[in-house]
Amino acid sequence: MSCAATSPMKRVLFLCTGNYYRSRFAEHLFNDRARSAGLAWEASSRALAIERGKDNVGPISIHAVEALAERGVRVSTARLPLPCTVEDLRSADLTIAVQEAEHRPLLSERFAGWEARVTYWHVHDVEVETPANALAEIDRHVEKLITSLGDVTRRS
């Protein structure tokens, strides 16, 4: 019997600026890998500054959809980006913002006090890094996270 079948589900929350590209990719990739590993974890994702995504076309970046498909992960493209709320932060067991220099100030400004409770990665947006490189970096982070959570589960 898998751990996921016997333990209450824990939540990881991925944050980025627009909840369109990096955090959505991390969410879907994490959920696929956590299921495969039998982890009792589920991811969601939210935007810290959804208004900055005014030029985003559609509900999820084509770069994220294509990179997920390359990894064998099928996603529904129906959900639109969602803004982060205090309840999202409260209900997460682990919160990860994908780019510290970009997201720590947003957390400090919009959710004062929460910026110190978040784990930060350093994955740049498309203005700085190519989608292939940025999403490969997120993939590596997700893989390390899955391994780490699996290690904790096995020790429990």
111-149 pLDDT, tens digit each: 999 999 999 999 999 999 999 999 999 999 999 999 999
| Residue 1 pLDDT exceeds 80 | no
- Shortest CA distance to 153 belongs to which of 53, 1, 4? 4
Domain 16-155, second-level architecture: 3-Layer(aba) Sandwich (3.40)
Alpha-carbon distance values, 105 to 56, 68, 108, 138 (Å): 22, 29, 5, 21
pLDDT of residue 3: 46
Q: Which residue has the tokens 């990881």?
A: 12
Rounded CA separation 21/25 (Å):
6
How is the chain split into domains, by residue range?
Answer: 16-155
Q: Which pTM value belongs to this model?
A: 0.92
